[in-house]
Amino acid sequence: MADLNGDIEAEAARWFFASSEDIFVVLRAGVVERVNPTWTKLTGWDEAEVVGQHFTDFAHPDEHQLIDDTVRQLREKGQAHCEHRLKQKSGGWFWVRANSRLRPDGVAMIVLQDISEAREHEAQNADAARTNDMLREEAGVFVWRFDPATQTYAVDSDLTRTGGPGIPGRRMLTAAEMSAEIHPDDQERVAEAFVGTVVSGAPRVVEYRHFKAENNSWARLRAAWRGMRQQAGGLWEVLGITQDVTELTEARDAAIEAAEVKARFLANMSHEIRTPMNGVLGVLHLLRHEALSEDGRRLLDEALGCGAMLSELLNDVIDFSRLEAGKLDLTIEPLQPVALAESVVALLRPQAEAKGLYLRLEAAPEEWVDGDPVRLRQILFNLVGNAVKFTAAGGVTVRLTSKGEAADHRLRFEVADTGIGIEPEAQAGLFERFQQADGSATRRFGGSGLGLAIAQGLAQQMDGAIGLSSEPGQGSTFWVEVAAPRSNTAGAAQDGDTGLDLISGLKVLVVEDNPTNRMIITRMLEHLGASVTTAEDGAQGVETAAAQAFDLIFMDIQMPVMDGLAATAAIRALDAPAATSPIIAMTANAMAHQVESYLKGGMNGWVSKPLSPAALVRTIAQTLAQAWVDAA
Ligand code: ADP
């Protein structure tokens, strides 16, 4: 036996470059004549058990046909090979690759190599590839290639499957067929971008609608492509990846829509609340002029304080929703930064002094710059207000510095306090909305947590930034830096208080449909010494203005019969002197573009609701000063 095995092993080695790891079988007329020890090792049967049996009996029934075919080939060509499963004594199967040769004496030699491991691998790979394909299709992602020479698209990275971009299971598509699937409104845009790449090779990303025959609907596809290889004619082969983003887009649109609805709702509600607030605060202001008991006066001051806080909160919410919607416009005018900082410090000094704190301003005299004084004051007011609020001993120093020249001129405000400071972990998120360093329910300090978020939004709008450094227990320094080009035109010096003399004896017309508002402004103006006539809508206003010239007209914007802008136009069309009366808009819609439309419409100034006596005086002074300058 050993000899014989030695024989066939030598022969197998010569013919098949086989090793003793392989199985050798010698057959005559399909019947096993000899096997080697590897056969026994791998199948479990020893030689005596298999000699005399048909070899086919050891092959898997599914592969009997294959074996018959292989045998036929062996007879015809003298050699053959195939892969099939071989039975084990234990009942299992394993894959072998069979190489066979027919000797002239009619004996067949077969070398069988165990390939079960490789087969296993292959199966796994095929599974993985199938899963990959499935995932890709599920995710709606397709890779494609366009050949300008044949004007056809082929889909998928291995290019074994064909179809158009985004259409699995399609045959090769021509460019014309491809573009017919694109929504008519998108065709031109896509074609233009695509031709651009075919000509230049430059990468492009486009989104478009694509017809989906399965459910007779438009899918939204996002395709990114680039030139891959330039062909002899100069045109580029294009490699692209297309993704079905229908669901993503719908989800994104829904999220954006929801956010917009929320922002709109917030802005509208705040606005709606602010209108009656106007009435409440106005009435409270008027009450201060009445004879009240000491207790009544104390209660009134309390109510005014709360009203002011509520107003501030409403303004914060409106500002914040506008900032988020990108709808907060700045109104740029000449301003003096030092004067601005001084006014903020002066406003907050009583609060600081009440707590025994110092509040200092360190600033070199500054020239005029261009900026939004209202918004800049708002930022500074927030920072200094916080510093006073969060400091118990010591005080607050406001520093103003500037750098850069002409158009590159920038302002930097630093607000340093000796207060409680902020833990490092809390510092990072502080500029996010509703963030407070102390988020606990039992926190000592009130506030909405909107202030810093708004300050940051405003600073960014001013092409600037905001930041802080802080040491818990030692204090904080907040800084804000904004672009503030040096101004060419110095603004007119404006001091609210000097307005008082201006107003006494002034003949004023108030055109306002809301009775409460009409009463409030009338009383406020009368307290300032003006003599007031009223009209209840725009038409009545024009009639009154035509009958008698006024020194000043206050005009509501939204009114029945004739609105404020139409009434202004009609007054401007009257004969002099009625036509030239300065007109001040009273409005709750004080966004920059709206204010601009009032001024364009012939008005001379505006005052925002809710009205406060200080704002009223300031606006009257500014408007009259300007009107006189214009008249001169
Ligand atoms: P609000 O003051 O209304 O809560 P802000 O956005 O202005 O909202 O401030 C957010 C938080 O930042 C405050 O609640 C406070 O925890 C912290 N903070 C702001 N300024 C200071 C400061 N100067 N010192 C200590 N903490 C501060």
pLDDT tens, 350-385?
A: 889 999 999 999 988 767 888 888 889 889 999 999
458 CA to middle of ligand 1, Å? 17
Residue of 316, 436, 474 with the most ligand 1 atoms within 8 Å of its CB, for mutation: 436
Residue of 357, 380, 430, 444 with the most ligand 1 atoms within 8 Å of its CB, for mutation: 430
| Beta-strand pair 217-230/204-212 | antiparallel
* Residue whose CA is at the smallest distance from ligand 1 atom 20: 386
pLDDT for the residue 479: 96
Ligand 1 site, residue 437, Cβ cutoff 6 A? yes
pLDDT, mean of residues 264-281: 79
Greater pLDDT, 375 or 4? 375
Contacts of 357 (CB under 8 A, 6+ apart): 388, 391, 393, 394, 395, 396
pLDDT exceeds cutoff 60 at 618: yes
Nearest to 505, CA basis, from 472, 528, 536: 528
- Angstrom distance (rounded) from CA 529 to CA 505: 6
* Residue whose CA is at the smallest distance from ligand 1 atom 8: 449
Topology of the domain comprising 337-483: Heat Shock Protein 90 (3.30.565)
Contact of 453 with 324, CB cutoff 8 Å: no
* Residue whose CA is at the smallest distance from ligand 1 atom 14: 436
Nearest to 502, CA basis, from 618, 404, 420, 340: 618
pLDDT exceeds cutoff 90 at 512: yes
pLDDT tens readout for residues 145-191: 888 888 877 766 333 343 344 444 444 667 777 777 888 899 889 98
Confidence of residue 43 (pLDDT cuts 50, 70, 90): very high
Residue of 310, 348, 381, 386 with the most ligand 1 atoms within 8 Å of its CB, for mutation: 386
Confidence of residue 495 (pLDDT cuts 50, 70, 90): very low
pLDDT for the residue 622: 78
Greater pLDDT, 607 or 480? 480
pLDDT for the residue 164: 41
Handedness of CA 381, 383, 384, 389 (dihedral sign): positive
Task: Compute the mean pLDDT over every residue in the chain, rounded to the nearest whole number.
Answer: 82
CATH architecture of the domain with residue range 8-122:
2-Layer Sandwich (3.30)
pLDDT exceeds cutoff 90 at 530: no
Ligand 1 site, residue 417, Cβ cutoff 6 A? yes
Ligand 1 site, residue 438, Cβ cutoff 6 A? yes
Ligand 1 site, residue 520, Cβ cutoff 6 A? no
The dihedral region occupied by 423, where left means phi > 0, alpha psi between -120 and 50, and beta the remainder, is beta
450 CA to middle of ligand 1, Å? 9
Fold match flag (8-122 vs 138-244): yes
Pick the range with the lowest mean pLDDT from 91-95, 199-203, 367-371. 367-371
Nearest to 2, CA basis, from 28, 37, 50, 30: 37
pLDDT for the residue 136: 56
pLDDT for the residue 210: 85
Ligand 1 site, residue 26, Cβ cutoff 6 A? no
Q: What are phi and psi of 485, to 5 degrees?
A: -60, 145
Provide the percentage of residues in the chain whose pLDDT is more than 70: 85
pLDDT exceeds cutoff 90 at 535: yes
- Angstrom distance (rounded) from CA 539 to CA 167: 65
Residue of 323, 452, 471, 480 with the most ligand 1 atoms within 8 Å of its CB, for mutation: 452
pLDDT, mean of residues 586-612: 80
How would you class 314 by CB atoms within 10 Å of its CB: exposed for 0-12, middle for 13-18, buried for 19 or more?
middle
Q: In the structure encoding, which two tokens stand for residue 10, read together?
A: 């030598």
Q: Given the CA of residue 419, which atom of ligand 1 is nearest to it?
A: 24
Contact of 231 with 237, CB cutoff 8 Å: yes
pLDDT for the residue 494: 42
pLDDT for the residue 364: 80
Ligand 1 site, residue 175, Cβ cutoff 6 A? no
pLDDT for the residue 497: 42
Q: Given the CA of residue 450, which atom of ligand 1 is nearest to it?
A: 6
Confidence of residue 474 (pLDDT cuts 50, 70, 90): very high
Q: What are phi and psi of 609, to 5 degrees?
A: -90, 145
Q: Which of 61-70, 427-436, 514-523: highest mean pLDDT?
A: 61-70
pLDDT for the residue 140: 66
Greater pLDDT, 443 or 302? 302
Q: Given the CA of residue 382, which atom of ligand 1 is nearest to it?
A: 7
456 CA to middle of ligand 1, Å? 13
Residue type, 98: A
Provide the percentage of residues in the chain whose pLDDT is more than 90: 27
Q: Given the CA of residue 478, which atom of ligand 1 is nearest to it?
A: 23
pLDDT exceeds cutoff 90 at 404: no
Ligand 1 site, residue 476, Cβ cutoff 6 A? yes
437 CA to middle of ligand 1, Å? 7
pTM: 0.48
pLDDT exceeds cutoff 60 at 292: yes
Contact of 487 with 369, CB cutoff 8 Å: yes
Q: What is the 3-state secondary structure (H, E, C) of 337-396?
A: HHHHHHHHHHHHHHHHHHCCCEEEEEECCCCCEEECHHHHHHHHHHHHHHHHHCCCCCEE
Q: Given the CA of residue 449, which atom of ligand 1 is nearest to it?
A: 8
Q: Exposure string (b/e) for 15-40, b if CB count within 10 Å is 16 or more?
A: ebebeeebbbbbbeeebbbbbbbbbb
CATH 3.40.50.360 assigned to domain 500-631? The reply is: no
* Residue whose CA is at the smallest distance from ligand 1 atom 7: 451
Contacts of 20 (CB under 8 A, 6+ apart): 9, 36, 38
Confidence of residue 568 (pLDDT cuts 50, 70, 90): very high
Ligand 1 site, residue 39, Cβ cutoff 6 A? no
Q: Given the CA of residue 383, which atom of ligand 1 is nearest to it?
A: 20
pLDDT for the residue 131: 59
Nearest to 514, CA basis, from 565, 556, 554: 556
CATH for 251-325, options being 3.30.70, 1.10.287, 1.10.10, 3.40.50: 1.10.287
| Beta-strand pair 507-511/531-535 | parallel
pLDDT tens readout for residues 536-556: 999 999 999 999 889 899 999
Ligand 1 site, residue 386, Cβ cutoff 6 A? yes
Residue type, 568: T
Ligand 1 site, residue 466, Cβ cutoff 6 A? no
pLDDT for the residue 171: 47
Pick the range with the lowest mean pLDDT from 194-203, 365-374, 399-408, 600-609. 365-374
Q: What are phi and psi of 143, to 5 degrees?
A: -105, 140
* Sequence ranges of the domains in the chain: 8-122, 138-244, 251-325, 337-483, 500-631
pLDDT, mean of residues 482-492: 74
Ligand 1 site, residue 390, Cβ cutoff 6 A? yes
Superfamily designation of domain 138-244: PAS domain (3.30.450.20)
Greater pLDDT, 566 or 232? 566
Contact of 502 with 624, CB cutoff 8 Å: yes
Ligand 1 site, residue 422, Cβ cutoff 6 A? yes
Ligand 1 site, residue 448, Cβ cutoff 6 A? yes
pLDDT exceeds cutoff 60 at 278: yes
pLDDT, mean of residues 390-396: 95
Ligand 1 site, residue 479, Cβ cutoff 6 A? no
